[in-house]
Structure 1
Amino acid sequence: MSRRRLELVELPDGRREFGWMANGLPTFPFGLAPKGLATRRQLRAAGLCPGGQDIVAQLVWRGGRAWAGLYDLNLARPKRTPTLAQRQALNKAMRARRRCGECGRDAGYCLPRTNRTCWNCTNNTTTAATAA
């Protein structure tokens, strides 16, 4: 991608910042996003979510091969927090993913979906098959 020439582009809130227009969106090089705009990851780190809003601008790096959408911080909403029942259901599901199908013990890590057996049971099975 050739080097873009920075010009003043208008943001949806009426401000003008240096960037360029690409795909109908104000575009900014990496590290030069205007104040008041944040990526999804930055919103998540601040305890926020986009809240249904569309991307208002984009950030581009790696010569245009990588990009991230920018959201308006004023329109962002607080992240939803799971209820007690939802957290209990998630804990139950994670316990089931850690439970060995052979010995029934909690392996302490998520077991592969293919056989749902812990490392010890898998090694015992392969050792027995090799010895036979």
Structure 2
Amino acid sequence: MRRTAPGHALSAQLRTSIRNTATHTERGAAGASPIPVDTPGGHPVIRFLDPGGTRYGIPTWPWGMAPSGLYTRSQLREIGFRPVSPGDPVGQLMWRSHRGDAGGIRTALLYPIIQTVQRATATPRQMAALDRAHAARKTCPDCRENVGYTIPAHLGICLDCASLYAKRVA
């Protein structure tokens, strides 16, 4: 049997409770056993579970445990919808992140499908303007060629021109 230091791992009973609750919550089953919120150890699933909104000011669920009928903006975009008012979420997902710029915790706002509208499609003129803008980002200002990639902002010129300039300076 594997031994762990106290406070560094969840008990087998709590792990089973979390696993069962996640399964029931994802399926939308009524009567899912609640996860004890004030369990020591600070497990992310427990720390981020706040369906009443008392701790974070808005109902919060750990990643992958949102109730059915609530969608993130990315999920809405995939099915062709957008929130009516982006400032009125009804909940949020919260999870630990290993990205350097996120400060360790990330969130995604949740919106009910009934508070969404169909996304507007771009007109042909808008698409043409986007194509011109993308082409401008790929055109080097020195050699005036479309190099096939976005010009790096820190250089301001294509990589070929940058290497020629570096050789002339050196």
Q: TM-score range by the shorter chain?
A: 0.7 to 0.9
The SS at the match of 1:67 is strand
* Partner in structure 1 of residue 58 of structure 2: 25
- Distance in 2 (alpha carbons) for counterparts of 1:125 and 1:26: 55
The SS at the match of 2:142 is coil
Shift in alpha-carbon separation, 1:65–1:122, aligned structure 2, 3 A: closer
Greater relative contact order (Cα 8 A, min sep 6): structure 1 or 2? 1
* Partner in structure 2 of residue 11 of structure 1: none
* Partner in structure 1 of residue 68 of structure 2: 35
Structure 1 outlier segments of 4+, above 6 Å: none
Aligned residue among 83, 97, 117 for 2:123: 83
Pair 1:45 & 2:68 matched: no
- Distance in 2 (alpha carbons) for counterparts of 1:92 and 1:55: 35
Residue 75 of structure 2 aligns with an amino acid whose one-letter code is Q
Aligned residue among 97, 103, 114 for 2:143: 103
- Distance in 2 (alpha carbons) for counterparts of 1:30 and 1:114: 36
How many Å apart are 1:24 and its aligned residue? 4.2
Contact 1:99/1:116 (8 A) holds in 2? no
What's the Cα RMSD here? 2.4
- Distance in 2 (alpha carbons) for counterparts of 1:114 and 1:67: 30
TM-score, normalised with respect to structure 2: 0.58
Contact 1:61/1:67 (8 A) holds in 2? yes
Residue 48 of structure 1 aligns with an amino acid whose one-letter code is F
The SS at the match of 1:94 is helix
Aligned residue among 78, 85, 89 for 1:55: 89
The SS at the match of 1:20 is coil
| Larger strand fraction of residues | 1
Which ranges in structure 2 are unaligned for 5 or more consecutive residues? 1-35, 39-49, 97-103
